[in-house]
A and B are shown apart, each in its own frame.
Chain A
Amino acid sequence: MALRKIAFVLEEFIVSAPSQQLLDRFLIGYLRDGEFRRIPNLGIAVWLAPAAENSTALADATTGLAVRQRDFKLVSHSNVTDALKDAEAVVAIAARDRVSVGEDLLKNVLEQAPIGAACFVHGCLATNLASAQRLVSIAAARKLAVAVATSVSTTFRLPEVDVAANTPLAEALIVVQGPRPLAELSAIDGLLPVVARRKGGESRLRSVRRLQGREAWRAGDKGEWSWPLLSAAISRSNTTQGDPVRDGRTQDLVGLGLVRKLARDPRGWIIEHTDGLRSTILVLDGVVADINFAVRSRDGSITSAQLYRPPAPNRAEFDRLAAVLEDFFTTRSAPWPIERSLLVSQFMQIVTA
């Protein structure tokens, strides 16, 4: 089916943020499979939440959207209803310092999107499971296809590995950085697509345990998460901190016992899945500056990779996301089950509690 109109509902428009990255890719074009891709005859409508006076968001929105209206025929609307009218696809994006679009706004979008439209929400659906379930119910009632994610879930992997389908997994671990809950969202969004391929598929969360400060190391020392998996994950990093920043050296941060020295206020989450899989998220500011994961299968083999996010301003990981979304919008078949998004919301409820 040819796409004719995508409506963007933005809480803000900031250069280099997901709002600009995704809007531009559908408005102007993006890189796909070694070619420049611009969807022909596609109209883009946008509704932008009012920005605070004198804010960066206001400045970017004023100049950024104006030039896009002039140069690329972006159509700006003053209300959500008009923006959504006749759209086959909808993209809703939260402000860059938030993990989810405001519930009222998202509810409004889902209630007014044309029946059968494909809706993508950047971030998580909600920061509590009940809200997420309500939104999913609204979408189902209106026959909307819904997908929720960040660019971390679809970005490049170095190396290009995936867990073979139906592999029995025993343990997974991902290392991220940044403030709560944004770092945790990146982590869960990066890890779930990897572990969902395990034997039996994704189950539910049995328990989530928070680790803070030295408790994070104690848990690792007791085997509640795996130092070897952390070593495997960090071996994929090319942004090791500490001495490498000072003089460029390579350094075995785990083997030399430097992780706990470098980490500033570490925190972590141990997630028990109902099928017995144990996933660990470690938020290690000051150790590495990229996202890396490792998973161990029941036969002991380890798969690891960096979830590679190319540099700004292009942030080419959004090309990967745009390709997935174009297929989603064209087929109206969600690229991953909504249950993953509910699981993310359940986790984020615990993280933000």
Chain B
Amino acid sequence: MKSHSKTTTRRTFLANIAKTTAAGAALTVAGCAYVKTASRHPSRKRIALIGTIIRKYSHAQHFVDRFLEGYGWHGRWHHPQVELVSVYVDQFPQGDLSRDREKRFGARMYPTIAEALTLGGSKLAVDGVVLIGEHGRYPRNDKGQTLYPRHRFFRETVEVFEASGRAVPMFQDKHLSTSWEECVAQVETSRRLGFPYLAGSSLPVTWRIPSVEVPLGAPLIESVCVCYGGVDSYDFHGLETAQCMSERRAGGEAGVKTVQAVRGENVWKLLGERADTERLLFAALARSHTLRPTPQGYTFPIPTREVLQRNNRAPVAYFIEHNDGFRTAMFLLDGSVRDFTYAGLTRDGKIISCQMQLPMPPAISTTADFFNPLVNHIEQMVLDGRAPYPIERTLLTSGTLVSALDSLHGGQVKLDTPQLNVAYQAPAQSTFWRA
């Protein structure tokens, strides 16, 4: 790992830890309510977390703290039934919190992924692995993809699995990788080794307002997500927002046939050619709690295409055709909203719509509790040995995102995507947070 000007290297950092650990016991805060948990629950299943960085509001921080501190769940404080025993962190920026967490909880940090998984021994010594390749300083390519080391995390983890002759459930945060070939390789590897593989975003599992689900087998013909944020970032959340609903349609997911990503005026041009999509766009906006008041001082006027055009100077949209004729559209409208909303159209003209609630700290929350259901699913997967929803969802959204960025970078043309022939069935049981 290369260090950056304000970033301590991992080895330097760990060396510093070693110097201070001797005094670590003495540094324990008097009267502190925390107890190191490493040996407190020997019967609990153990997990390792491999992350890019742990600082305030990084994804890894959200996961680590929920495993260590617990989280609100079904009206009580929930202490996970799995024990986070080891951590590997790739970078140590200013504001690093990994050292603090290690000191308070005893989830030991290791200098390599292999050592985190073997707890310094020779064989896999944990019952589950959580890979968080989000945030941190990593290069971007010319397509705008941040080259997080998700594939490297996966590969090095699997090397330990193979060397140990044993594989355990794995969760991977957000999209699988920035390369379709790597995404496919990862899923194939999970199948070959036979370990439960769960991945993706918190959007499919967070609160919905209202708390609605697409009935399994519904005659859905189109999905739209309206959201905000950048490409190769929140667009993935938007795709998963739509996909977790779309996959429940009659016949299940059939795979993606074409992808076209556009920006600027092309968004409005293509929208003008798709009456149903425009109807769904406004239906999704009608679930937003952040629709921009125009002008300031109003709640909001009922939006029109003109209002959206005026407020969004650099919109981005992905238009997706599925193999069964189903359509998906995702809009990044930074000038209009700061939330994630969904609308789906059924064959008989009915609309199902909701907001996938993402109260982002620090603006409207202090803890990113939309991670609670995701952590709970990971916990259950490690305990039960079964992923709650199929990895194919994330494989398809990851591949769709890769193709969308290819389209955006390659002249905003429609791309045929025969490689995205990923068909799967959604689970019958709803997996979003509703209690």
| A joins B in a complex | yes
Chain A positions within 8 Å of B, measured between CB atoms, are 15, 20-21, 24-25, 28-31, 34-36, 38, 60, 63-64, 67, 156, 158-161, 231-232, 234-241, 244-252, 254-258, 289, 294, 302-304, 308, 310-311, 313-316, 318
Given A159-B433, A238-B367, A244-B367, the answer on whether A250 and B302 have CB atoms closer than 8 Å is: no
**Contact between B77 and A254, CB atoms less than 8 A apart:** yes
Give which listed residue, A24, A234, A235, A257, contacts B299 with CB less than 8 A: A24
**Contact between B71 and A250, CB atoms less than 8 A apart:** yes
In this complex, what residue of B is CB-closest to A158?
Answer: B207
**Contact between B57 and A314, CB atoms less than 8 A apart:** no
Q: Which residues of B contact A67 (CB under 8 A)?
A: 295, 297
Q: How far is the CA of A70 from the CA of B343 in the complex (A)?
A: 34
Min C-beta distance of B13 to chain A, whole Å: 18
Q: How far is the CA of A189 from the CA of B268 in the complex (A)?
A: 45
Q: How far is the CA of A277 from the CA of B209 in the complex (A)?
A: 31
Q: How far is the CA of A308 from the CA of B207 in the complex (A)?
A: 12
Q: Which residues of B contact A241 (CB under 8 A)?
A: 366
Given A240-B367, A248-B62, A248-B367, the answer on whether A28 and B299 have CB atoms closer than 8 Å is: yes
Determine whether B173 belongs to the interface, using a CB cutoff of 8 Å to chain A: no
Q: Which residues of B contact A234 (CB under 8 A)?
A: 72
Q: How far is the CA of A67 from the CA of B295 in the complex (A)?
A: 10
Subset of 23 A-B contacts with CB under 8 Å: A20-B297, A31-B288, A34-B283, A35-B283, A36-B303, A60-B297, A67-B295, A159-B434, A238-B359, A238-B367, A245-B362, A245-B366, A247-B97, A248-B65, A248-B361, A249-B61, A250-B69, A250-B70, A252-B70, A256-B33, A302-B75, A311-B364, A314-B293
Q: Which residues of B contact A21 (CB under 8 A)?
A: 299
Q: Which residues of B contact A238 (CB under 8 A)?
A: 72, 359, 365-369
Determine whether B290 belongs to the interface, using a CB cutoff of 8 Å to chain A: yes
Min C-beta distance of B340 to chain A, whole Å: 13
Given A250-B65, A254-B77, A303-B75, the answer on whether A244 and B366 have CB atoms closer than 8 Å is: yes
**Contact between B69 and A248, CB atoms less than 8 A apart:** no
Tally of B interface residues using CB under 8 Å: 56
Give which listed residue, B66, B211, B297, B354, contacts A250 with CB less than 8 A: B66
Give which listed residue, B62, B207, B287, contacts A159 with CB less than 8 A: B207
Chain B 177-219: CB-based contact to A (< 8 A → 1; otherwise 0)? 0000000000000000000000000000001011100000000
Q: Which residues of A contact B361 (CB under 8 A)?
A: 248
**Contact between B77 and A252, CB atoms less than 8 A apart:** yes
Determine whether B231 belongs to the interface, using a CB cutoff of 8 Å to chain A: no
Q: How far is the CA of A294 from the CA of B357 in the complex (A)?
A: 22
Q: Which residues of A contact B61 (CB under 8 A)?
A: 247-249
**Contact between A316 and B359, CB atoms less than 8 A apart:** no
Q: How far is the CA of A254 from the CA of B433 in the complex (A)?
A: 23
Q: How far is the CA of A264 from the CA of B326 in the complex (A)?
A: 55
Chain B stretch 260-291: residues in CB contact (< 8 A) with chain A: 282-283, 286-291
Min C-beta distance of B125 to chain A, whole Å: 26
Q: A34-B343, A249-B367 are in contact. List 12 more A-B contacts (CB 8 A).
A: A20-B297, A28-B300, A34-B287, A159-B211, A238-B367, A244-B367, A248-B366, A250-B66, A250-B367, A251-B367, A294-B75, A308-B209
Chain B 205-241: CB-based contact to A (< 8 A → 1; otherwise 0)? 0010111000000000000000000000000000000
In this complex, what residue of B is CB-closest to A60?
Answer: B297
Chain B stretch 60-108: residues in CB contact (< 8 A) with chain A: 61-62, 65-66, 69-73, 75-77, 97, 100
Q: Which residues of A contact B369 (CB under 8 A)?
A: 238, 250
Q: How far is the CA of A63 from the CA of B343 in the complex (A)?
A: 36
Interface of A is mostly: loop
**Contact between B290 and A31, CB atoms less than 8 A apart:** no
**Contact between B56 and A235, CB atoms less than 8 A apart:** no
Chain B 356-383: CB-based contact to A (< 8 A → 1; otherwise 0)? 0101011111111100000000000000
In this complex, what residue of A is CB-closest to B338?
Answer: A311
Give which listed residue, B73, B297, B303, B368, contacts A15 with CB less than 8 A: B297
Give which listed residue, A231, A303, A310, A314, contacts B300 with CB less than 8 A: A314
Chain B stretch 320-370: residues in CB contact (< 8 A) with chain A: 343, 351, 353-354, 357, 359, 361-369
Q: Which residues of A contact B26 (CB under 8 A)?
A: none
In this complex, what residue of A is CB-closest to B354?
Answer: A34
Given A34-B283, A248-B57, A250-B65, the answer on whether A304 and B75 have CB atoms closer than 8 Å is: yes
Determine whether B428 belongs to the interface, using a CB cutoff of 8 Å to chain A: no
Min C-beta distance of A307 to chain B, whole Å: 13
Chain B 42-64: CB-based contact to A (< 8 A → 1; otherwise 0)? 00000000000000110001100
Q: How far is the CA of A289 from the CA of B299 in the complex (A)?
A: 23
**Contact between A311 and B71, CB atoms less than 8 A apart:** no
In this complex, what residue of A is CB-closest to B343?
Answer: A34
In this complex, what residue of B is CB-closest to A255?
Answer: B77
Interface centre among B211, B299, B343 (most CB of A within 10 A): B299
Determine whether B24 belongs to the interface, using a CB cutoff of 8 Å to chain A: no
Determine whether B301 belongs to the interface, using a CB cutoff of 8 Å to chain A: yes
Given A250-B70, A314-B299, the answer on whether A236 and B75 have CB atoms closer than 8 Å is: yes
**Contact between A235 and B72, CB atoms less than 8 A apart:** yes
Q: How far is the CA of A231 from the CA of B75 in the complex (A)?
A: 8
**Contact between B71 and A64, CB atoms less than 8 A apart:** no
**Contact between B291 and A314, CB atoms less than 8 A apart:** yes
**Contact between A35 and B286, CB atoms less than 8 A apart:** yes
Min C-beta distance of A159 to chain B, whole Å: 5
**Contact between A247 and B56, CB atoms less than 8 A apart:** yes
Q: How far is the CA of A231 from the CA of B357 in the complex (A)?
A: 23
Chain B stretch 101-149: residues in CB contact (< 8 A) with chain A: none
Q: Which residues of A contact B211 (CB under 8 A)?
A: 159-160
Q: How far is the CA of A31 from the CA of B302 in the complex (A)?
A: 9
